[in-house]
Amino acid sequence: MNADALVHEINVGQALVRGACPICGVLKEFQSTLAEKIHVRDDLRLCNFHTWLLARAAPAKGAAAVYLKLLEGSPAVKVGALDCDFCQRVLEQEKLQLRELVKRMRRSMFVQWMKSQGSLCLSHSRKLRDYAPLKMRRLIDEIIERTRAELKQELEDFLEHTKQGDHTGGGILGHAAEFLVSQRGL
pLDDT value, residue 18: 67
35 neighbors 57 (Cβ within 8 angstroms): yes
Q: How far apart are CA 164 and CA 49, in angstroms?
A: 38
pLDDT (tens digit per residue) in 97-148: 999 999 999 999 989 988 888 899 999 999 999 999 998 999 999 999 999 9
pLDDT value, residue 77: 64
* Four-point Cα dihedral 157, 160, 166, 172, nearest 10: 30
27 neighbors 124 (Cβ within 8 angstroms): no
pLDDT (tens digit per residue) in 79-94: 888 889 999 999 999 9
Q: How far apart are CA 49 and CA 36, in angstroms?
A: 15
- Domains of the chain: which residue ranges? 3-181
**H, E, C per residue of 96-139:** HHHHHHHHHCCCHHHHHHHHHCCCCCHHHHHHHHHHCCHHHHHH
Instruction: Flag the least confident range among 22-26, 40-44, 105-109, 166-170.
Output: 166-170
Answer with the residue of higher pLDDT: 17 or 101. Answer: 101
Q: What is the pTM of this model?
A: 0.82
